[in-house]
Amino acid sequence: MFKLNEIKELIKLVDQSSLQELEIQEENSRIFIRKPSRTESVVVTTPIHPSYLAAVPQATMQEISPPATSVPVEDTNKAEAPKKPLHT
Structure confidence at residue 77 (pLDDT):
62
Alpha-carbon span 37 to 74, nearest angstrom: 87
pLDDT tens-digit series, residues 37-88: 766 555 666 565 565 555 655 555 566 666 666 666 666 666 666 666 666 5
20 CB-near residues (< 8 Å, 6+ apart): 34, 35, 37
Tell whether pTM > 0.85. Answer: no
Domain ranges across the chain = 4-43
pLDDT tens-digit series, residues 19-43: 888 888 888 888 888 888 766 555 6
3-class secondary structure for 18-51? CCCEEEEEECCEEEEEECCCCCCCCCCCCCCCHH
Structure confidence at residue 31 (pLDDT):
86
Q: Are 34 and 21 in contact (CB under 8 A)?
A: yes
